C-alpha cells in the first residue's frame, strides 16, 4: 500500500487521467517495483515539450509556460513575472533524479522515475 500522499499548493489546471488519486488533480502515479511511473496531462494552453520538469529526490517540480496571452481565469499558482504556472508533486519514495526518463505523447508527459535504494 502506498503511504499517504502530500499535496502542496492549489489545484493545477491539468486533467485528471484516472480516479486513482481523485484528491490529486492532474496526474496519476503507479508503483512498478523499482520504478515509479508518473503520467501528467498538460493543459491545452501549453506545449507538452515546453513543460520544464525538475526531478529532486523526493519531489517533481513542473513549470508550464503559456502559448501567447494570459487566460482570463488565472489559477492561483500563476506567476505574472514569468507568465507560467508551476506545480509540485511529492513522491511517496525517494528517487534518483539523474536516471529519470521522459517521453511525450501529445499533451501527455510520461516520466519513469527510478527509486533510490
Domains in the chain, please, with CATH? 27-114 (2.60.40.790)
Q: How far apart are the first and last CA of the chain?
A: 18
pLDDT tier for residue 19 given thresholds of 50, 70 and 90: very low
Query: Is the whole-model pTM more than 0.85?
Result: no
**Closest among 101, 85, 80 to 44, alpha carbons compared:** 85
Lowest mean pLDDT among 3-7, 97-101, 111-115: 3-7
Residue linked to cell 526518463: 101
The CA distance from 103 to 117, in Å, is 24
Mean confidence (pLDDT) of the chain: 68
The CA distance from 29 to 18, in Å, is 10
For the segment 108-114, the average pLDDT, to the nearest whole number, is: 88
Over 60: is that where the pLDDT of 1 sits? no
Cβ pair 12, 26 in contact under 8 A? yes
Amino acid at each position: 500500500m502506498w503511504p499517504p500522499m502530500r499535496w502542496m499548493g492549489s489545484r493545477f489546471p491539468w486533467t485528471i487521467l484516472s480516479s486513482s488519486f481523485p484528491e490529486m488533480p492532474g496526474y496519476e502515479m503507479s508503483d512498478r517495483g523499482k520504478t515509479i511511473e508518473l503520467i501528467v496531462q498538460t493543459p491545452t494552453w501549453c506545449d507538452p515539450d515546453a513543460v520544464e520538469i525538475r526531478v529532486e529526490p523526493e519531489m517533481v517540480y513542473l513549470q508550464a509556460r503559456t502559448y501567447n496571452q494570459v487566460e482570463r481565469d488565472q489559477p492561483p499558482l500563476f506567476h505574472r513575472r514569468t507568465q507560467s504556472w508551476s506545480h509540485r508533486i511529492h513522491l511517496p519514495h525517494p528517487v534518483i533524479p539523474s536516471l529519470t526518463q521522459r517521453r511525450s505523447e501529445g499533451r501527455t508527459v510520461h516520466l519513469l522515475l527510478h527509486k533510490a535504494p
